[in-house]
Amino acid sequence: MTREGKYIYCIIESNEGRNFGPIGIGQRGDIVTTIGYNDLSAVISNSPMTKYVINRENMMAHERVIEEVMKDYTVLPVRFCTIAASAEEIRTLLRRRHSEFKGLLRDMDNKVEMGLKALWKDMNQIFHEIAEENQGVRRLKKKAEGKAGKDVNAYKIAVGKVVKEALDAKKEGEAKKIMNTFKRAAVDVRTNGLFGDNMFLNSAFLVDRSHEKEFDYMVEDLVEKYKDRVNFKYIGPAPPFNFVNIVVKW
């Protein structure tokens, strides 16, 4: 029989017991509550001492709890699938890392995460621009004309490499323009990986709640400005997942 433990979602600054309802991970209806030490608490639910599969369902369950807690508290997200053997183990964690957690809570106080992705709408247009702007691409394409067999294949590979380099440079340039828009509104920023040829921005911004509306308006202005060129995917406010990820080693 699998032992029962305590699944930890996040750390908050509070010494009051809270009940957030039967929203725990694992679809058992476990109550999400708190275990405290001094003026800190861990938000937890009962859970088997087992590894949770990293899939959409489990990740969403983990994140939903943190988002619920964020409605009332500043949160420090804890890494997915962090499970303590007992309540005493959690109190020991809060005691040993008390000053670290307090410092992070000060840093994250009254702040939220806003996520923004930007994707070009028409890649044919982007590749046309690259061909027009890049002398290296134009030169290699011209050399490839009229070639045959191995020669043309070699030139095609060379063109592909130069186009990839030019595409990466174009992504970086256009992303930088958009990132500069948010300099005055964001406290911090994290840049995440890009997926596919058309995505050129995938960033998370740490924003003070007092600037949240200002940030929204900036995104609205960008959507209007680039409406014929770029699709934006905007998410937030959310817990600061990209800026805090508490790792616990028992």
35 with 87, same domain: the answer is yes
The secondary structure of 137-178, three-state, reads HHHHHHHHCCCCHHHHHHHHHHHHHHHHHHHHHHHHHHHHHH
Counting Cα atoms < 13 Å in the Cβ hemisphere of 105 gives 20
Question: What pLDDT, on the 0 to 100 scale, is given for residue 183?
Answer: 86
Q: Are 227 and 121 in contact (CB under 8 A)?
A: no
Say if residues 163 and 130 touch (Cβ distance below 8 Å).
yes
Same domain, 33 and 98: yes
Within this chain, do residues 84 and 118 fall inside the same structural domain, yes or no? no
Question: What per-residue confidence (pLDDT) applies to 2?
Answer: 75
Residue 29, domain extent? 4-109
CB neighbour list of residue 194: distance below 8 Å, 6 or more residues apart: 171, 200, 201, 202
35 lies in a domain? yes
| Residue 146: C-alpha distances to residues 65, 132, 240 (Å) | 62, 21, 56
* Distances from the Cα of 247 to the Cα of 8, 82, 86, angstroms: 11, 8, 17
Please give the model's pTM, rounded to 2 decimal places.
Answer: 0.86
Does 143 lie in the same domain as 83?
Answer: no
171 and 194 housed in the same domain: yes
In a domain, 56, yes or no: yes
- The residues that bridge with 77 in the sheet, in sequence order, are 10
In a domain, 176, yes or no: yes
Q: Could you say which of 109, 128, 162 is where a domain stops?
A: 109
Q: Which residue, 109, 133, 149, sits at the end of a domain? A: 109
**Nearest of 48, 31, 36 to residue 12 by alpha carbon:** 36
pLDDT at 211: 93
Statement to judge: residues 148 and 234 lie in one domain: yes
- Whether residues 37 and 86 share a domain: the answer is yes
Q: Look at residue 156 in the predicted model and tell me its pLDDT.
A: 63
| Cβ atoms within 10 Å, residue 191 | 12
Show which of 53, 82, 109 is a domain's final residue: 109
Is 84 inside a domain boundary?
yes
Locate 81 and state its tokens: 């699938």
Q: Render each residue's pLDDT in the chain as its tens digit; 250 residues.
A: 679 999 999 999 998 899 999 999 998 999 999 999 999 999 999 999 999 999 999 999 999 999 999 999 999 999 999 999 999 999 999 999 999 999 999 999 999 999 999 999 999 999 888 888 776 666 656 655 555 555 556 656 666 688 888 899 999 999 999 999 998 899 999 999 999 999 999 999 999 999 999 999 999 999 999 999 999 999 999 999 999 999 998 8
